Amino acid sequence: DIKMTQSPSSMYASLGERVTITCKASQDINSYLSWFQQKPGKSPKTLIYRANRLVDGVPSRFSGSGSGQDYSLTISSLEYEDMGIYYCLQYDEFPRTFGGGTKLEIK
């Protein structure tokens, strides 16, 4: 199985700050990577797919980048509503595997 190592596991950031979360796959996943945001008591919401494609309706302050084994999610200017837990997912191979999550809190 492909292991997805996500970092940091938790972080505090200030409003307006640029935030970056990273995900490293145990092998090349050919950009088959998605990012999700989950808020308390809610189902996850897809932000990014194919490493860098923004889902319709997701604010443009979110962006994804990376290739091979290394990927990142960036929030260009943190807003209060961005609090939550973020997960990466690889879907290059079965079983699909998620990163462990990053809990993002406002400082």
Partner 1 sequence: QVQLKESGPGLVAPSQSLSITCTVSGFSLTSYDISWIRQPPGKGLEWLGVIWTGGGTNYNSAFMSRLSISKDNSKSQVFLKMNSLQTDDTAIYYCVREGTGALFAYWGQGTLVTVSA
**Residue numbers at the binding site for partner 1 (CB under 8 A):** 1, 34, 36, 43-46, 49-50, 53, 55, 87, 89, 91, 94-101
Type of residue at 88: C
Residues 6+ apart with CB under 8 A from 94: none
Least separation in angstroms between CB 77 and partner 1: 23
Least separation in angstroms between CB 16 and partner 1: 28
Three-point CA angle 77, 79, 83, nearest 5°: 120
Q: Which is nearer to partner 1, 15 or 83 (CB)?
A: 83
Phi (first) and psi of residue 44, to 5 degrees: -60, 155
The partner residues of 98 in beta bridges, in order of sequence, read 89
Q: Which is nearer to partner 1, 19 or 33 (CB)?
A: 33
Q: Are the C-beta atoms of 56 and 46 separated by less than 8 Å?
A: no
Least separation in angstroms between CB 73 and partner 1: 14
Least separation in angstroms between CB 105 and partner 1: 15
Q: Which is nearer to partner 1, 24 or 45 (CB)?
A: 45
